[in-house]
């Protein structure tokens, strides 16, 4: 069963080396206004939620089983 959550893969941490880890999967926190401006909200390595330009990420289409594992983690 799909969870409705969205996930992204960090493809670049340029200018955010301490906050983002390349090749790490992050869960997207819904923020419609940010997304209209080509930003997404995630919880980064500081443990806080921040906005980042979508150019740092690739959106993932994951099988339901993997989504459930990531949500449960």
Per-residue pLDDT in tens (0 to 9) along the chain, 73 residues: 666 889 999 999 999 999 999 999 999 999 999 999 999 999 999 999 999 999 999 999 988 888 888 888 7
**How far is 64 from 53, CA to CA, in rounded Å?**
26
Domain contains 37: yes
Domain contains 24: yes
pLDDT at 42: 97
Domain contains 65: yes
Q: Supply the CATH number for residue 20's domain.
A: 2.30.30
pTM of the complete model: 0.88
Domain contains 1: no
**How far is 50 from 69, CA to CA, in rounded Å?**
23
pLDDT at 24: 97
Domain contains 59: yes
- The range of the structural domain enclosing residue 45 comes to 7-72
């Amino acid at each position: 069963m799909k969870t409705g959550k969205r996930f992204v893969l960090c493809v670049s941490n340029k200018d955010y080396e301490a906050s983002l880890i390349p090749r790490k999967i992050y869960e997207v926190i819904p923020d419609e206004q940010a997304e209209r401006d080509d930003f997404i909200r995630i919880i980064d390595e500081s443990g806080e939620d921040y906005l980042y330009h979508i150019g740092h990420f690739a959106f993932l289409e994951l099988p339901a089983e993997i989504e459930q594992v990531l949500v449960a983690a």
